[in-house]
Amino acid sequence: MPDSPATTHGAQQAANSADPANFANFADPANAANSAGAEQPPYLLHHFKSASQQADAAGFAMWLFLLTELMFFSGLFTAYLIYRNWYYTAFVAGSHQLSVVLGATNTVVLIFSSFTMAMAVWCSKTGRRRELALSLTLTFLLGLGFLGVKSVEYREKFENHHVPGRHYSLQSFLYPQSDPQIFAEYHDRPLPLDEARHTEVYFSLYFLMTGMHAAHMIIGLGILGFMILRARAGAYTSGHATFVENFGLYWHFIDIVWIYLFALLYLISRH
């Protein structure tokens, strides 16, 4: 007793007789073999006709998701570029308060972590269990290192009263000599009061942009931790590298965002 209606059946028969090669069955667990004759892998979901279609779809979805993340950050980048154009001297003065050494360290750390992540993807694809867990763990530690350096920088801002809000202080901008190290490097002029007030906008955007970035890193580290546990139990090495690969895309995206942040927040005002 067919439970599919007669019309589909009729169409099916017509198609079948027309060109059997065009016809491909759905990946039905009940079907032990598909048209290619191979076994269906256990991770294949019921609505995909092949593992490659599933992996393809997952990868495409990840790229689209990264596009939405790009749009999310773009609002902040737009605000930064507009305000930097309006309040140039204030933004330069604010930028001089950041430590380029720490920023560069973070950049190197993240780039290296992207390398270890790429290694992890390769290990997953080539079935290297031990190396996979190792690369993932290295990536995790490097990510933690990044957050550690970031927290050092944030603490420094907090101590210098450069966190926007009630305790924000204009001292460093009205009297640049009060920060001898920074003054020795940049010899900034003291800013007039109204210009100095605009440095708060700079720091707002600094915390917003790096904070958003750090939030994304924390989420990434959480997923990474989960992946390490699963990798040690042997997952991701039986030819199904999709999860690791797509997470790798996310991780590289975070890295690229940081590179832009480093350039825009730390570097372009050095002169």
Cα–Cα distance for residue pair 77/83, rounded to 1 Å: 10
Question: Based on CB atoms, which residue is closest to other proteins, 48 or 115?
Answer: 48
Phi-psi region of 268 (alpha: psi -120 to 50; beta: other; left: phi over 0): alpha
Q: Which of residues 17, 32, 37, 166 is near other proteins by CB under 8 A?
A: 166
Which positions ≥6 away from 35 have C-beta within 8 Å?
23, 24, 25
For residues 74 and 238, which CB has a smaller minimum distance to other proteins in the complex?
74
Largest CA distance in the chain: 90
Q: Which is nearer to other proteins, 82 or 152 (CB)?
A: 82
**Binding flag, residue 158, other proteins (CB under 8 A):** no
Q: How many CA atoms lie within 13 A of 149 on its CB side?
A: 19
Give residue 247's Cα distance to chain centre: 9
Residue whose entry in the numeric block shows the structure tokens 């004759």: 37
Q: Does 53 bind other proteins (CB under 8 A)?
A: yes
| Cα–Cα distance list, 61 to 124, 237, 242, 246 (Å) | 20, 22, 11, 9
Closest CA to 228 of 157, 108, 144: 144
Calpha distance 155→149 (Å, rounded): 10
Nearest distance in Å: CB 189, other proteins = 9
Out of 73, 112, 122, 243, point to the residue binding other proteins (CB under 8 A). Answer: 73
CB of 236 to other proteins, least distance (A): 18
Rounded to 10°, the helix 100-125/129-159 angle is 160
| Residues between 80 and 119 with contacts to other proteins, criterion CB under 8 A | 82-83, 86-87, 89-90
**Of 38, 39, 41, 61, the one binding other proteins by CB under 8 A:** 61
The least CB distance from residue 16 to other proteins, in Å, is 9
Residue 145 near residue 109 (C-beta atoms within 8 A): yes
Stretch of 78-86, 153-161, 241-249, 254-262 lying at the interface with other proteins (CB under 8 A): 78-86
- Residues that bind other proteins (rule: CB under 8 A) add up to a total of 71
**Dihedral of alpha carbons 14, 16, 22, 23, sign:** positive
Least separation, in Å, of the C-beta of 254 and other proteins? 15
**Pick 78 or 126: Cβ nearer other proteins:** 78
Q: Is 32 near other proteins (CB under 8 A)?
A: no
Q: What does the per-residue mask of binding to other proteins show for 179-208, with x meaning CB under 8 A?
A: -----------xxxxxx-xx-xx--xx-xx
Residue 66 CB, nearest approach to other proteins (Å): 11
Please give the backbone phi and psi of residue 44, each rounded to the nearest 5 degrees, phi first.
-75, 125
Specify whether the backbone of 41 is left (phi greater than 0), alpha (psi in -120 to 50) or beta.
Answer: beta
26 vs 108 by CB, closer to other proteins: 26
- Which of 41, 165, 234, 239 is the binder for other proteins (CB under 8 A)? 165
**Which residue, 109 or 195, is less far from other proteins as judged by CB?**
195
